[in-house]
A and B are shown apart, each in its own frame.
Chain A
């Protein structure tokens, strides 16, 4: 009924607008983060902001390209795209370049491409494709196993590249499974277990077990007291206790030393501000010193004089916090929340199951990046090096997030035609 109208009348301009605003905020703050008096021309290609300008232009070209591809292409080629990037992930382990300890980069010309960024999009596509298939019921064990495999296989390959941060991001797709009908216990466990783990490290084990016993008792008191329920509560209780006592072992034996340090920093157990605690402390100093209105554009001293590490990539939020203050930081957080909610609402209006689940995949991945990245700069999450979508410096991540979003925008624009 609306086929006669062009693509630009059909795309969701709210989400495109949010995208453009975030990309612009990103560029502005990268400019501020690396600004110095000798290089102040805005298209200086020797500087990160000059390069990011190129990345942005390329990203817009990519977005336009996706908008003219037949929307059916993505669902039909979902498996192929998934397979292709899985292959790339394996290839990169052997032929890739090592950046900051993880072997996940292809060197193309002067730029690096990180397949893991694109693999998230491919996995979201494959998962949507699988869940969109009519005979799949996630409540069934076989379907759950298959869906889990789709998520975990690329995650494990990324883990082999020693890129723990990117690997964890794949777990965000459990939100899609939840929307598809997975029992709420599993996503709940994803939230409860880390919290329990942190508590196990932070407070005395016996107190924690006593608390768990109280909670279990509470559940028993309010339950229907059928045998099945009692067994379930008992099993969960025993599982939790076992988990609590295995946390020390996991932290000390399985995690690598730098990861262990990050956990200790998060718990405030590592006060060595020159060592592992340095990043987070400097990050908080930069953000905290912004006060309400911020120090003003290009006036941030902590970022300008390099006190904050990785300030244009993983810690870009510090620049925003310092120069734009609480006002600017809150606006950014609200913009993200707006983007996520808009994507969910768009997902819900899809007639095609593939499109809907893909939309949830997009929202999950973006949200997870947002939560980990900003949580890290605010000292609420361990230091996990993943970028802030659209804002952090870097071609790979910007292009991957652009493709991720615009495939969904393209699906959405033809939602009446897709079933």
Chain B
């Protein structure tokens, strides 16, 4: 009688098929439609073990090692494998207390009981020696080698920069970096990061559910080996750099020296500075905060690139060159100086007493304000220009061809533009086209809104000695091979002033040293051209500025020195520049008295510099 229910077989078979098809659909979804499961599967078993390459070394121009790597060791822990450790011994070995030990272990366990965490970062080689002997007593702990950046000379910290772990923003933008990777954060470590870092290698290991290493994935088919970073050959002269930092002890300011024929930077001193070793390794965070909070010395501020000053009288050299180029100034142009340049409203740009009138060479030699105000005025008021604005724009273009008012493009990050004011600026300040040569006359003597960095000043000295051209200053002369050239810095930049106008300026600069405002810088055995400058500083004492190059023929070094709040250019900047030149060219300084006085001068803690009292050869400029 159940025959009447025979049709129910279709319902039953239908039900079976329905469930079967439902499962097939689910399989299709899980296996083909979504990708999260295969990603999770790889996460489960594959560990990408990075092979870190050694970072490239840095040498100075004489082949001395400047920056190298030292082995450091991270103590790693796999919490699950930790068995009843002799806590006290381990605490003693790495210098922590028991509470800290327990808290670190708990932190690691919270991250993962199976995966390694860093227990103590960057143990030095010495402590590692003790630890290594005892490590077998502590199952679950092992050390992983890392490298630490080290510096042979405790100098040039800002140029070298430092490295640190790549932050989340970097990791997001650049797929090369993973959490825990090191990256250059400033200095050449940053600008040459891709060359220094080399290429990471990757070993893919397979791990089981208990985090046991089961060997390499597919017999290492997808593994890559690491490639060591490329070495850099810096143009720095380590001894000169060290000497410069010594001279700048207890002074704020900077020294930049360049080899004019190549644009190679011989030294970049910014003061106050710090020992680059302070920012290497696990002490970096602590020290960085300390340096950052020092608002008196501001040691992290790289004055050589980031500070801009009104160049003062050193800018008269630019007037002399541009004036000749514009055809409004000739070597024999003579202006008298009645003790200043009258502004027409009863006021005047003052000048110090000196023989008058002077020609161009004489004006450079004694740094006559009146003379160069007239030169500047004759450029801006030149008849061939329709108006002040057009003349000013032409002047500005020529001035900027000296590398002013814009970043030079050197290979140390952080340069500032400096400032050569735009016509728009004066429009805003005085009203549209309501400004004349007399309104902006202070530009003629390097005062006012104009701002130039010490690096740009040094470059000015270099291009004058080259008679009109320069290579972009750079601190890395060769990459990989010592005798190669840094390809990025082989373009010659031509200044918009003809070569023939330079001779008279160079002669004037030589006279500055032999019988002008900079006689204090004179070195008997070395010919030199120089120019003093004093930058007015509304916040305090004037800044002492000096630029120079030597020897006058076949020049080897061009230099700028800025000493903040130190008075006339001849007071501090000129003697320091002179000592640097002597050190570089003669490798030895004979003028010990001058040297001592410069090293021991303390201009930060408010002492009156002795040099301005009773020193007959400090002339105003």
Contact = CB atoms under 8 A, between A and B. Distances in A.
Interface of A: 137, 175, 178-181, 184, 282, 284-292, 301-302, 304-307, 321-322, 325-326, 329-330, 333-334, 336-337, 340-341, 344, 347-348, 353, 360, 363, 367, 371, 374-375, 378, 380
A129 B345 CA distance: 129
Given A285-B37, A363-B16, 15 more contacts: A180-B2, A287-B37, A289-B40, A292-B31, A305-B44, A305-B207, A306-B209, A321-B27, A329-B27, A333-B23, A337-B20, A340-B13, A340-B16, A341-B13, A378-B30
B38 A305 contact: no
B5 A305 contact: no
A53 B17 CA distance: 32
Contact of A285 (B5, B9, B23, B40): B40
Contacts of A378: 23, 26-27, 30
B28 A326 contact: yes
Nearest to B22: A380
29 contacts: A179-B9, A184-B11, A285-B40, A286-B41, A287-B37, A288-B31, A288-B41, A289-B38, A289-B40, A289-B41, A289-B42, A291-B32, A292-B31, A305-B45, A305-B209, A306-B210, A307-B45, A307-B209, A321-B27, A326-B28, A329-B31, A341-B13, A341-B16, A344-B12, A348-B6, A360-B12, A378-B23, A378-B27, A380-B22
Contacts of A375: 23
B31 A337 contact: no
B285 interface: no
A329 B4 CA distance: 37
Interface string B17-55: 101101110111011101011101110111000000000
B41 A330 contact: no
Contacts of A289: 37-38, 40-42
Given A333-B20, A333-B27, A367-B16, A288 B209 contact: no
A269 to B, nearest CB: 19
Nearest to A288: B37
B312 to A, nearest CB: 70
Contacts of A286: 41
A353 B5 CA distance: 13
Nearest to B20: A337
A179 B32 contact: no
A43 to B, nearest CB: 25
A301 B206 CA distance: 9
B446 to A, nearest CB: 70
A337 B207 contact: no
Contact of A178 (B12, B23, B24, B44): B12
B5 A181 contact: yes
B219 interface: no
Interface size class, chain B: 35 or more
Interface in B208-244: 208-210, 214
Contacts of B5: 179-181
Contact of B8 (A179, A306, A353): A179
A325 B41 contact: no
B12 A179 contact: yes
A329 B24 CA distance: 8
A304 B45 CA distance: 10
B9 A348 contact: yes
B26 A326 contact: no
Contact of B24 (A285, A301, A305, A333): A333
A321 B6 CA distance: 37
A277 to B, nearest CB: 13
A322 B4 CA distance: 46
Contacts of A306: 208-210
The 10 A-B residue pairs whose C-beta atoms are closest, nearest first, are A288-B37, A289-B41, A305-B208, A289-B38, A326-B31, A301-B45, A337-B20, A306-B209, A285-B40, A288-B30
> Which of A287, A305, A325, A380 has the most chain B CB within a 10 Å cutoff?
A305
A292 B38 CA distance: 12
A175 B12 CA distance: 8
A326 B19 contact: no
Contacts of A330: 24, 27
Contact of A321 (B17, B19, B31, B40): B31
Given A178-B12, A289-B37, A302 B27 contact: no
B45 to A, nearest CB: 4
Contacts of A292: 31-32
A325 B23 contact: no
Contacts of A360: 12
B31 A290 contact: yes
A301 B44 contact: yes
Nearest to A308: B209
A179 B27 contact: no
Contacts of A288: 30-31, 34, 36-38, 40-41
